[in-house]
Structure 1
């Protein structure tokens, strides 16, 4: 029996009505991802308001801030003073440094993946979050799409023997995503958190992971799961495809369950992400996709790198 994933947009999670003032969020970063996603998502409200932007280039920060009436902060500390929460759209090394400072200032954190450029820095961020007792949330984009949540709901009821998966695109060949850290570190650090997170959630906790290949070209992961299942993951950012390809196939006694992101609209993710982050900030309780989750994914990446 083959069980496909639901059609894009099916079983969309309800975004609860919002009452009260929006969460004031400061944005660190003014690059392509900050412009394309973070700034407009946070400014769309009603759960959040883009309060301020800081970037190392003031002109770039102003370009991001002005369309939304946000302030331009002169320093990260000035940004912290203007907001309740801080969102990050910067390279992992910059995030790891400034997230610790933001947590120590008592600000909630909306964190990108990976948590840091290496395991040590990721652990420092997670420790700072735990020590300060602030809310944190990872922007693991696909986790906020209704089709992903329906897939994980169905997977929870399956006995899985094995799984195959891939996350492939050609964005590292040129364009705005071909940035320094991505070209240096490759797909394992950039795409790996997404796929490892989904395999860990859908198949069962990953207990061991091995890698072969070159992360800057193509890397293959073999994961062992606590329930005895084995999964494989193919990762590359240097294959010229017409669009990104993310696919997971689960196999077991009941047949096959497939999750494929072809055709899904990522715009459906942002209202859910915004609402859940704002609710977490207001309640003071983080969800499952917090900094501790980011640290676990970084531990798996480190294990793969060391294999």
Structure 2
């Protein structure tokens, strides 16, 4: 699989480009960015060309790996699908339901494979754990906490200069992660209630189709000493916790690439494909409406 990278920011530089260059079963073919000089520099660092013309890159590759803001990603993902390229997308797929739906429809119309890179869904110990809990069933409640410190005093995060994260906050940055680990275990969401916390913090209560409920705590402004992530389930089998994340995003992205290759070869949609990405956006958009209106919103 020849694959191109769309994006030149910290996420592209620190995660996507090294993995594309290192993965033994893909050929890293080039980089396109909104700043041609940055694409040239990032490509040169990995011995591949930088492209100033997106359509030329799309014509030269079988797939693209997208590391761009969610306001930019949907339009480029649709163009790539129209060019017959398989899609390794970042979360969230988009910041609006119509944009996310356009991506999902393009994937179906042009019969390309898609995988959305929810990092925990591709974690080594997390994959079998989530499968096991989904198979066991009988869950009464769940909790998914994602308390980041990107914008907290003393933070050294390379993503603190991200305009879209500053504008959209934790709901749209870490919210997709929190939702992505609950849905495969507790089932689809039918109702969302959201309450604002301190600074950008948001608390969500989800009602799931199978009758269970879950809560989420999200933040990008938690004190550095208070940050962390976790997931807890309570039900007929007692209390269980998501295994700790002992590895970084590089290993997870390698698995996401393997998942994209498999979906492209078999034609079988991946559980974390564009349709799942759309559903996550629909849930977050409902939470946004709940924050504005002060009550539960049906999804």
- Contact persistence 1:188–1:215 (CA under 8 A): no
- Contact persistence 2:201–2:219 (CA under 8 A): yes
- Contact persistence 1:186–1:216 (CA under 8 A): no
Q: TM-score, normalised by structure 2?
A: 0.90
Measured in 1, the distance between the counterparts of 2:180 and 2:118 equals: 8
Task: Summarize deviations over 1:232-255 as a string: whole Å, max 9, x none.
Answer: 000001112258521111111321
Q: Out of 176, 183, 190, which is 1:200 matched to?
A: 183
Q: Please tell me whether residue 99 in structure 1 is matched to residue 77 in structure 2.
A: yes
Q: Out of 214, 223, 237, which is 1:231 matched to?
A: 214
Question: Which residue pairs with 1:11 in the alignment?
Answer: none
Task: Summarize deviations over 1:97-140 as a string: whole Å, max 9, x none.
Answer: 11111111111111101111211111111111111111111011
Question: Which residue pairs with 1:160 in the alignment?
Answer: 139
Change (3 A) 1:155 1:132: same
Question: Which residue pairs with 1:209 in the alignment?
Answer: 192
**RMSD, matched Cα:** 1.8
Change (3 A) 1:293 1:194: same
Q: Out of 88, 108, 121, which is 1:130 matched to?
A: 108
- Contact persistence 1:164–1:232 (CA under 8 A): yes
Question: Which residue pairs with 1:30 in the alignment?
Answer: 8
Q: TM-score, normalised by structure 1?
A: 0.88
- Contact persistence 1:109–1:137 (CA under 8 A): yes
Measured in 2, the distance between the counterparts of 1:97 and 1:303 equals: 22
Measured in 1, the distance between the counterparts of 2:133 and 2:262 equals: 27
Change (3 A) 1:296 1:215: farther
Further displaced range: 274-283 or 105-114: 274-283
- After superposing on structure 2, the runs of 4+ consecutive aligned residues of structure 1 that deviate more than 6 Å are none
Q: Please tell me whether residue 74 in structure 1 is matched to residue 52 in structure 2.
A: yes
- Contact persistence 1:161–1:229 (CA under 8 A): yes
- Contact persistence 1:167–1:195 (CA under 8 A): yes
- Contact persistence 1:187–1:215 (CA under 8 A): no
Measured in 2, the distance between the counterparts of 1:141 and 1:169 equals: 15
Further displaced range: 259-268 or 225-234: 259-268
SS at match of 1:248: strand
Measured in 2, the distance between the counterparts of 1:68 and 1:87 equals: 15
- Contact persistence 1:191–1:235 (CA under 8 A): yes
SS at match of 1:224: strand
SS at match of 2:224: coil
Q: Out of 69, 86, 106, which is 2:64 matched to?
A: 86
Further displaced range: 294-303 or 255-264: 255-264
Measured in 1, the distance between the counterparts of 2:83 and 2:250 equals: 32
Q: Out of 120, 124, 132, which is 1:142 matched to?
A: 120
The Cα shift of 1:216 comes to 5.6
Give the gaps of 5 or more residues in structure 2.
291-299
Task: Summarize deviations over 1:138-190 as a string: whole Å, max 9, x none.
Answer: 01111111221122123120311112220011113464212111110111111
Give the gaps of 5 or more residues in structure 1.
1-22
| Matched positions, count | 285
SS at match of 2:216: strand
Question: Which residue pairs with 1:187 in the alignment?
Answer: 170
Measured in 1, the distance between the counterparts of 2:65 and 2:84 equals: 14
Question: Which residue pairs with 1:113 in the alignment?
Answer: 91
The Cα shift of 1:88 comes to 0.6
